[in-house]
Each structure stands twice: as structure tokens, then as C-alpha cells.
Amino acid sequence: MFYEARGAAWALVHFMKAVEHDFESVLQKKNALISLRQIVRELEATQESIWSPMILNGSGFGLFANHSLVMASYISRANAAVIDLRDLLKQG
């Protein structure tokens, strides 16, 4: 599941960069370019190198890392930014 989510985030990064390129004038007119770039930054953070030889799902503040929780945090922030962007574009 971790690598499936990471792959989907990778694809979304490229979709969002294409949206930025294709709709740059509209995004600038609505002051939404910064929101879109925030989404791209959050999604790019999911693609950082993982230095562990395997994906760990430790619990809470335990000894082992919780890679899925970190991935979920980045995706959740990107989702919140998408909702803000949608509202910003809807306002006109």
C-alpha cells in the first residue's frame, strides 16, 4: 500500500505541474498560483529518499519509524490545499 500511495502521489505531482503550465494565466488572475505550488511541494515531499532498507510501520512514538503515517501526513496537507484551491477558483 505504501508504494501504491507513493506512485499515485508521483503521478499527481506531474498532473499538478501540467495544470500549472496549462492554466498559469487563470491561476495568476485568481491569485491561486501559490496554492497550487503548495500542493506540488507537499506531493514532492512524498518522493524523498527513504534511507531504511524496508518500510516500517512503528507505533506512535515507538522506537521504529512509521513511514505510512508520514506519507499520510503529506497527502493530507496536499488534500487540504486542494480544497482551498478549489474554493479559491470557485469564488471568481
pLDDT in tens, 11-34: 999 999 999 999 999 889 988 899
For residues 32 and 68, give the distance between their C-alpha atoms in angstroms, rounded to a whole number. 30
Q: Per-residue pLDDT tens for 39-71?
A: 999 999 989 888 878 777 766 555 666 778 888
Q: Are 64 and 56 in contact (CB under 8 A)?
A: yes
Would you state the pLDDT for residue 17?
95
- pTM summary value: 0.81
